[in-house]
Structure 1
Amino acid sequence: MPQSDTEAIVQLLNLYGFAVDTQRWSLFDRIFTEDVEADFSEPAHWHDRESFKRDFGAFHDPFDSTQHCMMNHMVEVDGDTAHAFTYGTWRLLRKATDGNPLWDGSGWYDDALVRTADGWRIRHRVCRIVWWVGNPQVNETIPGVSFKLDTTVLRGEADAGRVGFLRAIEGK
């Protein structure tokens, strides 16, 4: 049975969490365009899929286990382009740190997608962390590089016109 565009995009968004948790970075080729712009807040900003895969691999390799849950998918398709907004939660486990081996977080993903000959791909992703709890040393797998809490709330990003999904559904 053929999938609708929305179903295919939701499947793609869920594949991202699976790719990260299995550390199968080759699956990013099925998820992102070669020239993806991935903004996870500075300094975590990539301009191409290969460096995104390399750096995500290096960051995630030291974890004993991870779990990424993608949820509350909203998708707006317009021909061969689409926007999606997804909430995510994640648990990172690294026993090599002092104290609590867990770092849990929640945030959101704002994606711009394009239809390719091989299916839908994300060409621009913004990820912002809304909250986290646990040992911050767990997510510092590369000295000096960690994902930090973004104090910009979604409402403020929306009011500033920086949420692509909202612009898409409001027709702006």
Structure 2
Amino acid sequence: MIEHDKAAIIEVLNLYGFALDAHQWDLFDRVFTDDVTAEFGPAGSAWLGLANFKRSFAEFHESLDSHQHTMMGHLVHVDGDKAHAFSYGNWLLVRDAAEGGPTWQGTGWYDDELVRTDQGWRIRHRVCRLMSWSGNPSVPEPNAEHHPDMKTNVLREHCEAGRVAFLQAIAKS
């Protein structure tokens, strides 16, 4: 059963990138709970509630000409009807009209808390942190609640400070 749960959770994590890049915002309903808390360091903001999160991400990503989000290196810890997942991400943003070049690429990680619902696994709390970036920092320009933050993060430091929920979850098991 746990292996089936892990596969289902990885599917949810990967569906996020597809939904985002395809601008299929209704697919976020298959990824997040209605009461999701989404903290995105690279966006310089956090959102409470799925409707608010979807609206804001649609507004920001529609201002770009293209983007690609790759999820990888998934780690999943299941504990009954709750789970924690950790994954790495690469983000390529393209805005052709950006002065100084059309692309910005970032790398970082996602630290997720998931819950089992009647519809399957959903992310209830997501923390996204930027580890590095290159390219034109004006590509991810401010839009509504998005205030791009190019501050980079060191995973080791977040772990040492107790700010990685996945690490805390596996330490308890």
Unaligned runs of 5+ in 1: none
1:110 aligns with 2:111: yes
CA contact (8 A) 1:67 1:92 kept: yes
1:9 aligns with 2:9: yes
Task: Quote how far apart the aligned CAs of 1:148 are.
Answer: 1.6
Partner-residue secondary structure (3-state), 2:138: helix
1:5 and 1:143 map into 2 onto residues whose CA distance is: 36
Per-residue CA deviation, residues 84-136 of structure 1 (Å, 9 max, x unaligned), is 00000010111111121000000000000000000000000000011110111
Query: Which residue identity is paired with 1:20?
Result: L
CA contact (8 A) 2:115 2:123 kept: yes
Partner of 2:19: 19
Partner of 2:51: 50
Task: Quote how far apart the aligned CAs of 1:141 are.
Answer: 4.9
1:26 and 1:106 map into 2 onto residues whose CA distance is: 25
Give aligned pairs, total. 170
CA contact (8 A) 1:75 1:85 kept: yes
Unaligned runs of 5+ in 2: none
Written as runs of structure 1 = structure 2, the 5 A alignment for 1:1-172 is: 4-41=4-41, 43-142=44-143, 145-171=146-172
Return the TM-score normalized by structure 1: 0.94
- With over 3 angstroms needed to count, the CA separation of the structure-2 counterparts of 1:162 and 1:73, relative to structure 1, is same
2:36 and 2:145 map into 1 onto residues whose CA distance is: 24
1:31 and 1:154 map into 2 onto residues whose CA distance is: 24
Query: Which residue identity is paired with 1:164?
Result: A
Task: Quote how far apart the aligned CAs of 1:171 are.
Answer: 0.5
Task: Quote how far apart the aligned CAs of 1:44 are.
Answer: 1.3
Query: RMSD value over aligned CA atoms?
Result: 1.6
Return the TM-score normalized by structure 2: 0.93
Per-residue CA deviation, residues 52-108 of structure 1 (Å, 9 max, x unaligned), is 000000000011111100000000000100000000001011111112100000000
